Every structure is written in C-alpha cells, then in structure tokens.
Amino acid sequence: MVDILNSFDSIKIVLYRETDLKHSTAKIIIDKSRERNKEIINFFDEEDLSKKINVLKKSYRSKEVLILKEFMGRKFQKCPGSPKVICCNYYLLNTCFNCIFNCTYCFLNSYLNSFGIVQFINLDDLADIIKSFCNEEDRILRVGTGEFTDSLMFDEVTSIAVDLIEATSKVKRLFLEFKTKSSKIDHLKDVKSKGNAILAWSLNTQRNIDLYEEGTSNIYERIDACAKAQSWGYYTALHFDPIIKYDNFIDEYFQVIELMAEKLIPSKIVWISLGCFRYSPGFKDIIKNVFIDEKLTLEEMFRGIDGKYRYITPERAEIYKRIKEKIQIYFPDVFIYLCMEDSDMWYRVFGKDYKISNDLENDLSSHLLKNFMK
Ligand code: SF4
C-alpha cells in the first residue's frame, strides 16, 4: 500500500544549495530535516538540479521531494481571477509552488512536467513588500499565500505564517489570510501580535474530502482547528470551494454548516465564500490521466463566459441560494461571497447588482471596516 502524503514528515528528500543557507527559511528547513533524518542533497546550479531530479524521478513520487530555491518572479501580485467574472480584488503572496496534499480537482495537476514541492526561501523581504504596498494604498487589502500551495501545510516547520503575522500585525488596513486544509496550527497559538491575521479553512462534505482531498484533515479536525484559532484571538474565514454535487449532497453540506454552528463563534468569522466545482479546458483530460478512476468530471458541465466549465447556471444558482440561506440561519451577519461567478449569478443569488469587481471589493471593505478593524 502506498503511503498517504499529508505533512512535512511525508517528505523523503530535500534538495538545497549550500549558498542558500544565508536565507533563514532554508536554514530552518535544513536543520529540521536533519533532525528528522531526511536525505539531504546539495545541488550547485539549475543544470545540476535537473540532473538530480531526473535520477530521483525513478524512485520517488513528486511530492516526496522538497526543493529549496530562490524565487526570482513576482512575490506579490493581484489575483488574476478569471475574465468577465466578479472578483474580490484579492492579493497573492507566492511562497511555495506545489502542495503535499493531493486534491483531484487541484489546478496544480495541470503542471504535469513539474517535479517536487518547490519551497521558496528568499522570503525575508515579504513583510516589507506588503507594508510598502499598504502605505501606497488607502484602502483595505486582503492578502493570502495559498494560490499555488496550501498556506499552512508545513508552517509548523517553516514558520512563514508566524513571521509574516508578527511582522505585519501593526498594518491596520491589512487582512492577511492563511487558507488551509490542515489542522496543524498549534505553533500559531502563541504569536504575540496577531493583527488582523485570518486563519481560514476550505470546507467540504466528508464524502468529498474522502473522494477528492487526499492527505488533508477531515471535516471535524478542520472545524475544531478553526474553533481553536478563534479561542486564541484569530479572525477566521471559511471557504466552501469547490462545492461538488452528488446524490444528497445538499443535506451533507447542511450538516457541515450545522457543525460550524455548534463549534464556531460567528462574530470571529470575517467572510465565507462559495464556489461550485469548475475547471479550465483541457483539465478534464489531464486529471483523467492522473486519477484514472475519478468520477468528478462525469457530471455534465457547461462552458461559461470565462471559458471554464461549470454546472449549468440555474442549478448553480439553486445550490448557492440553498447553502447561503442555511448559513444565514446560524451566521446572519457574516459576509458571504461567490468566487468567480458573473454579475448575473450575483443577482440571482443575492439580488445584488454588481457590475464590476470593485463593487464587491467595496462591499467587502465596508463590512471589514465596520466590524473588524482593530
Ligand atoms: S490543498 Fe489546495 S493546493 Fe493543495 S492539492 Fe488541494 S487544492 Fe491543491
């Protein structure tokens, strides 16, 4: 039986460049890898790295190999969103590429030729980058690290979130979100200055977690972790994304919402997002090759204005309405938004006449200003 990959302990090999130990993130990871008896391999340059990867490919799975590298691209950018849909104008920090978890629907599966989890290590300037951007803007900024990875999958080792939260905690207009499917958050308990940091969980029914989110924490662990985060003084957020249909799925999503109601404090939830399963053209063929028995793409899906495939519009509207109404029974004051849906869908579900992404951003910012600014 093949081991499930689910944490830093699942990593078997760590590749690094000796000269990169000048970066604190690299040094911490190498020290912890030594303590945990991982095989550590030194590389000299890109050519040497690619030779070593070619050898490792024969014996290891991609996610068993951690590659420490400097990142030369843009570390901070606006979320590209999707053309012609209403976006929330979120900002992204690139800290890592790839993920220890193995979600069937993950768009990272499209990067077929990439091997290993690439942890960026030149991150010491991240807090300054965010701070100087916030100084130039006079609006509320929502920033997250979970675009190309899971924000907290290794954080008990790397401490990237800990450092960022502390270093930016005085920036009043910043809401820094760490979105995860992990429940390993105990290292975040004693962060002294938490500012407006948000610990956020993607939620799904346990059936969808079992089928499509290999290696992740179960729904009870995620909601318990969220309750712990609230008790430590963090803001929290929740994301029902992707919502995936099956017989009886609505009832099981309702059970998740009831569990949230039992365990969570509504006033500490800054937002809840909803997004139905969607994929880009070509993705279906890719995941059919990677997950031979997957059932996810058997459902009939329709191409939308941004080129992505989704469940048909009236059906999505009905799903969103029912889940939103159920959430509002227990969390009437929490801001709920749709991820990557168009104006028409916003009107159908919320009766809101959003024409452009700034309309959503403005509403969300007013909500944060009124309820959460410290
Ligand atoms: S947790 Fe997120 S980044 Fe990781 S595999 Fe799942 S969808 Fe992808």
For a ligand 1 pocket test, name from 7, 101, 153 the mutation site with the most ligand atoms within 8 angstroms of its C-beta: 101
Q: What is the pLDDT of residue 370?
A: 96
Taking the C-alpha atoms of residue 136 and residue 113, their distance in angstroms, rounded to an integer, is: 38
What is the whole-number distance in angstroms between the Cα of residue 68 and the centre of ligand 1?
19
What is the whole-number distance in angstroms between the Cα of residue 150 and the centre of ligand 1?
6
Is residue 61 included in any domain, yes or no? Answer: no
Hey, whose CA ends up nearest to atom 2 of ligand 1? 150
Q: What is the pLDDT of residue 2?
A: 75
Return the closest-CA partner of residue 343 out of 80, 88, 85.
85
For a ligand 1 pocket test, name from 95, 107, 108 the mutation site with the most ligand atoms within 8 angstroms of its C-beta: 108
Q: Please report, for the domain that includes residue 357, its CATH number.
A: 3.80.30.30
Is residue 51 included in any domain, yes or no? Answer: no
Per the listing, tokens 């799975």 go with: 61
Q: What is the pLDDT of residue 1?
A: 67
Running along the chain, 374 residues long, what does each successive block of 10 average in pLDDT?
A: 88 98 97 97 97 97 97 94 91 96 94 92 95 92 94 97 97 96 98 97 98 97 98 98 97 98 98 96 88 87 94 97 98 97 97 96 96 86
Q: What is the pLDDT of residue 213?
A: 97
Is residue 13 included in any domain, yes or no? Answer: no
Is residue 155 included in any domain, yes or no? Answer: yes
Is residue 177 included in any domain, yes or no? Answer: yes
Domain residues for the domain of 233 are 72-112+133-371
What is the whole-number distance in angstroms between the Cα of residue 110 and the centre of ligand 1?
12
Is residue 64 included in any domain, yes or no? Answer: no
Identify whether the C-beta of residue 68 lies closer than 8 Å to the C-beta of residue 121.
yes
Residue type at 258 in one-letter notation: E
pTM of the predicted structure, to 2 decimals: 0.97
| Ligand 1 pocket by Cβ (under 6 Å) | 99, 101-103, 106, 108, 149-150, 181
What is the whole-number distance in angstroms between the Cα of residue 297 and the centre of ligand 1?
18
Is residue 32 included in any domain, yes or no? Answer: no
Is residue 14 included in any domain, yes or no? Answer: no
Concatenated DSSP letters of 59-113? TS-GGGEEEEE---S-SEEE----TTSB----EEE--EES-SSEETT-GGGG-TT
Q: What is the pLDDT of residue 138?
A: 86
Hey, whose CA ends up nearest to atom 3 of ligand 1? 149
For the chain, the domain total comes to 1
